[in-house]
Structures are given as structure tokens and as C-alpha cells.
Structure 1
């Protein structure tokens, strides 16, 4: 089942990559015709996002949060390759190193994830998660008012990370849901929706006012590290015995690669400021 869960996580990563490419194409076409919401490519990208999210939920059912989130972050490497004709020789040196680092890191992270999951959550897990989500939502207006792109990207990372944690926490089900009605009585279900909306809005605001590369790097690092640590310390996620160094190295490589791939080119930044 672990192999199958890894395949679902990889499929979700591929889905996110396809979604990003299709949505970008739809957004570009919107400049010359219909609104972006009416562009077939953009709508296809949204559908790919939904499919990828379903795959993510399945993966979180069997794999630790840190493993799933790290694998999803690999979409940046595949998007970079796709944008350059799937040829590493079309990449600059920094991008090549970034792609290799991400892929090597993901292999280590995937191998270090323990398939076991707790039979049930600690009694304090759901209350702690819900209180944390409320505090994040309470801080959101102040972050918005500050208008700093990096803070907004960090907030978006907390939002998307919160979605992963809520999904993971729902699965063992301290409420023991056996029907849709039981599921809808679980407050974590609504946390998934609210935190997801927060993530989307905050990241959109970060992209509007800041550099895409910087915002994406902050988002990616936040949504891997923060929920990954919470999963390990609160939700009973586990690393294979003896694989702790590999997990740490894998996360470090993957995150370093993400930062390299999303780092803005200094000349581009300078030109943007001039204009």
C-alpha cells in the first residue's frame, strides 16, 4: 500500500504540474480574448487541480504529511523542465542543479516515510489544530494590511499546510465517522475549505505585489516544513527507523532545489524595478 500511496502522491505532483501549465496558457490567451474564467485551457487546469487534490487526499491517508508535501513541491522541478521543452540542456546551470536536488531529495524523503499510521489521534490533536487555524485566520487581516509579499506567501503556505494537516487528521477520525453525515459533523472538514481559500487568496495577493520566484519559494518551504513538523510531533507521523538522517537530507535537498528554481534572476528584478 505504501508504493500505491507514493504513486498517488507522484500523480498529484504531475497533476499540479499539468494544472500550472494549462492555467498559465489559459491566462496568456485571456489577454487577447475571453476572460480567463472562460478559457478552456484555464478550466482544464482547474479540473487537473481538483484531480490532483483528490490524489493528494488518498496519499495523505497512508503517508506522513512531510513526505506528501515534499513530493508535491517537486512540481516546481517538472514545471521548469516542461517550460524548457523537457530538456535539461535548455536550463541554465542553476536550474539544472535545482532540478537534480529536488529529484534526489524526493527520492530520499519518499524512502524515509514510514507507512504506519496511528489507530487514532491523540485527544489534544484536533483541538490544537482548530485553535491554530483560528489564530492564523485572526492574524490574516493584519498580514493583509501590512501588504508584504513574503508575509502573504508565508500565510499562504500556512493555509495550504493547514489543508494537508486537516486532511491527514480527518483520516484516523477521532469521531469515527462511518457515513457522509458523520463526516460533515467533523469541524476539520470545514477547516479544509477555509484554510484552502485562505491559501489561494493569500498567494494571489503575494503574486500580485511581489516577485513570483520569491513568493513561490516562501510558499513551498512553508507548506513543507511547518505541516511536516506538526505531523511528526502531533499527528503520529513516523520516519523509518534509521532513516532520520536521510529524511533530513532529503528535505534539505528538495527545499534547496525549490529555492534555486524559484529564485528570481537579478537582472530581471533590476529591469522590473526600472520599468
Structure 2
């Protein structure tokens, strides 16, 4: 369990760094050098990859909602980094909402059971496959949308889906078997969810404030797949922690709603 916590914290820090790099890259795009060719965006993808590896390791030891909640600490890290590096100013409402998100995610993480998570069944593959198809269609529809919070929400669902797909992959007692890995639907769904997440996250960053986008993205990435994992993958809430878990969900969700309608979000631009 300690090893899982260590890798989850490492993934949180790396996610924050990747978000900062990718967000800065969106401000440097030109017709001759689009976002996909920006060095900082490419570096951000590399850091994202490192974060993903850390997340995969953490998911082998902890429930989905516990790992995702720890990753939620990137909300606070990002808000502090944005203010320190670029001098971005958030409204009082934004600060309270981000604080509510952080407190909510801490409660969710604390509610995680200590049992090692079990593997997934065929039903999980079916549900994830349908979900991926729906998200892919929504991504196409919203690609040109100017609503950063909505794009961030879809991105959160996409990256959250990667965590569920990781848990759905079966690894035998003899360790990693590449042939067996490539034969599993969850392996390809993992790639699909990641692609949806990275496309919509990049679009959200180009249209909204990094702190707000990160908060909406992170809470969505934590809450939705965490609840799905409880019902679909057998993750457990610690005995006596149902009430704190519910309070955490309410606080995190309320923070996202407040951020989605904030003045910073409506302006949809950096305040440097």
C-alpha cells in the first residue's frame, strides 16, 4: 500500500508539470507551428507518459478512487504554480471552489479500503467499450466548442477511463505477457481513452484558465471512474467512512459546478 501511495504522489506532481508545459504551449501556437509541433507540448506529453506509468503501478496496489483522489492534489499544485509563474489571479469564488475540491478529494482518498483491488470481469470490458464509443462521439461534436469546462469534463472522463482500463487488464502470476496483453480488449480501450483525454484536454487548455480547467478535469477524473470502480470492479470504501466519502463527493462536485460558471471560466483566457 505504501508503494502505491508513493507512485500516486509522483504521478500527481508529474501531472502538474505536464499541464503547465502543455498550457504554455497553447499560447505559442501559430499556423506554421501548430500545437502538436510545439516543443513544450511534446515534452508535456512525455511527462504525461511518466505520470501514467506511475499511475499504473499505483493502481496495482490501491483502489481506483484512492489513486485518482491523490492525483487530485494537482489542483492545488497547479493553482499555486500558475500564480507564482505567471501571476494569474483567481476570483474569491474560484479559490473557495478549488479549496472545496481539494478537501473533497482528501476525504475521498481517506475513504479507500486497505484491501488489494481485485481484477475485472467481462462485464467491465463491455461497459468500458460502450463508454469509449460515446466519449469518442462527444469529442467529435465538442471539438470546436469554446466551453473549456465542458472539454475539461470530457478529458477527465477520458483519462479516468484509462485507469479503469488498466484495472481491467489481466496480468498472470508469471508477470507481463506481451502476447496475452495484446489479446485483451482493455489494452486497446486504454489507448482509446487516452487519445480522447489528451485531445479534449489540449482543447480545454487553449480556451480556459489552467487552474479552472485542471480543477474540473481532475475532479471528474476522480469522482466518476471512482464510483464506477466501486460498482464494477469491486473497490471498497473503508468501514465507517461512507459519510465522509459522500461529503467528499458533494464538496468536489460543488466545486466543479462553481468553477464551471465562474467569471474566469467565462472569460476563457489567461489573465497575465
Q: What TM-score, normalized to structure 2?
A: 0.77
Gaps of 5+ in 1: none
* Equivalence for 2:263: 265
Q: Is residue 4–residue 57 contact of structure 2 (8 Å, CA) maintained in 1?
A: yes
CA distance in 2, matches of 1:263, 1:213: 14
1:245 aligns with 2:206: no
Q: CA RMSD in A?
A: 3.7
* Alignment of structure 1 residues 194-205 onto 2, 5 Å: 194-205=192-203
Q: 1:262 to 1:8 in 2, by over 3 A?
A: farther
Q: Is residue 230–residue 236 contact of structure 2 (8 Å, CA) maintained in 1?
A: yes
Q: 1:189 to 1:107 in 2, by over 3 A?
A: same
Q: Is residue 62–residue 117 contact of structure 2 (8 Å, CA) maintained in 1?
A: no
Gaps of 5+ in 2: none
- SS of 2:46's partner is helix
Q: What TM-score, normalized to structure 1?
A: 0.76
CA distance in 1, matches of 2:203, 2:34: 19
* Alignment of structure 1 residues 11-30 onto 2, 5 Å: 11-28=10-27
Which of 227, 233, 238 in structure 1 is aligned with 2:231? 233
Give the deviation of 1:43 after TM superposition: 3.7
Q: Is residue 64–residue 229 contact of structure 2 (8 Å, CA) maintained in 1?
A: yes
Give the deviation of 1:28 after TM superposition: 4.3
CA distance in 1, matches of 2:204, 2:120: 34
Q: Is residue 98–residue 215 contact of structure 2 (8 Å, CA) maintained in 1?
A: no
* Alignment of structure 1 residues 24-63 onto 2, 5 Å: 24-28=23-27, 40-63=39-62
Shifted more, 76-85 versus 189-198: the winner is 76-85
Give the deviation of 1:91 after TM superposition: 6.5
* Equivalence for 1:185: 183
